[in-house]
Amino acid sequence: MIADVFRGIVTTSNVIAETPGGRDDRVVVVGAHLDSVPQGPGIQDNGSGSAAILEIALQMAELDIEPRNKVRFAWWGAEESGLVGSQFYVDNLSKREIKNIALNLNFDMIGSPNFVRFVYDGNGSDTPLAGPNGSKNIEQVFLDYFINQGLPTEPTAFDGRSDYGPFIAVGIPAGGLFTGAERIKTEDEVAIYGGTAGEQYDPCYHLACDTFDNISLEALDQMSDAVAHSVLTFAMTT
């Protein structure tokens, strides 16, 4: 296959779709970034997260699910250029619109080939950074789900590296999942999750080899189910 590729400065957009029904004062924003770095096609980073939330949106429509709370799906542009798309979105919200967002769910890289199941540490109990008030509840939804599935998880910090950053900066609770990027997998993690110690969670992170061959379908399947569970949980919560 030959790809026609342009590299340069262009205008890009966020792609946003929301459910027609549901309380618009309890909006659940579900996000994943749509772009990749110039060096690679970005099938894992972040085709994995973008595809997962697209499928959930399609299934909600197909199944005619009527959420109690409005669900807003967002595919952010220019994340790799410094969270440009999500920052622009949050910067242009009114105070009322910010208050009307109940939470932000963020899914950036959920199919790493040498994966660990990371959950954002909402209350800061295991990492130096906590999310805004309410983030603990989001974390607990993920933890309870994985416990019920018999799947171990690890905490990861709100370090501001993905599109939840602008949301937590204005006090919106956030949470999400992550399977690892450039950090090195340890022997202890291999004992729990399998894989290869001494190698990156994603050996093709920000490289040209981030193709379909760079995806763990096992991780993507497990994490996508957890994504769907969280979206429907918060879509329906009172």
Looking at residue 170, what is its pLDDT? 98
Q: Which of 55, 36, 32, 58 is nearest to 45 (CA)?
A: 36
Q: Across-strand partners of 23? A: 69
Looking at residue 63, what is its pLDDT? 97
Looking at residue 9, what is its pLDDT? 84
- Domain assignment present for residue 9? The answer is no
| CATH code, domain with 138 | 3.40.630.10
Q: Is the pLDDT of residue 8 over 90?
A: no
E-assigned strands of the chain? 15-18, 23-33, 69-76, 101-107, 118-120, 154-156, 174-178
- Domain assignment present for residue 150? The answer is yes
Looking at residue 220, what is its pLDDT? 98
Looking at residue 160, what is its pLDDT? 92
- Domain assignment present for residue 77? The answer is yes
Active site residue 182: no
- Give the model confidence (pLDDT) of 104-153 as tens digits: 999 999 999 999 999 999 999 999 999 999 999 999 999 999 999 999 99
- Give the model confidence (pLDDT) of 42-62 as tens digits: 999 999 999 999 999 999 999
Q: Is the pLDDT of residue 3 over 90?
A: no
- Domain assignment present for residue 12? The answer is no
State the helix-helix crossing angle for 47-62 and 217-236, rounded to 10 degrees: 50
At 186, give phi and psi (nearest 5°).
Answer: -95, 165
Query: How many structural domains is the chain composed of?
Result: 1
Cα–Cα distance measured from residue 34 to residue 223, given in angstroms and rounded to the nearest whole number: 18
Q: Residue 10 — very low, low, confident or very high, per pLDDT cuts 50/70/90?
A: confident
The C-alpha angle 89, 91, 93, rounded to 5 degrees, equals 75
Mean of the pLDDT values across residues 176-183?
98
- Give the model confidence (pLDDT) of 78-108 as tens digits: 999 999 999 999 999 999 999 999 999 999 9
- Domain assignment present for residue 3? The answer is no
Q: Residue 1 — very low, low, confident or very high, per pLDDT cuts 50/70/90?
A: low
Mean of the pLDDT values across residues 19-35?
97
Token digits of residue 207: 């490289």
- Domain assignment present for residue 133? The answer is yes
With b for 16 or more beta-carbon neighbours within 10 A and e for fewer, the 102-134 pattern comes to bbbbbbbbbbbbbbbbbbbbbbbeeeeebbbeb
**Residue-number span of the structural domain to which 111 is assigned:** 24-236
Cα–Cα distance measured from residue 164 to residue 83, given in angstroms and rounded to the nearest whole number: 9
Looking at residue 103, what is its pLDDT? 98
Q: Is the pLDDT of residue 5 over 80?
A: no
Mean of the pLDDT values across residues 172-192?
98
Check if the beta carbon of residue 4 is closer than 8 Å to that of residue 20.
no
**Average pLDDT score, the chain:** 96
- Domain assignment present for residue 7? The answer is no
Q: Which of 77, 129, 98, 108 is nearest to 227 (CA)?
A: 108
- Give the model confidence (pLDDT) of 200-228 as tens digits: 999 999 999 999 999 999 999 999 999 99
- pTM of this structure: 0.96
Q: Which of 18, 55, 66, 79 is catalytic?
A: 79
- Domain assignment present for residue 199? The answer is yes
Looking at residue 4, what is its pLDDT? 76
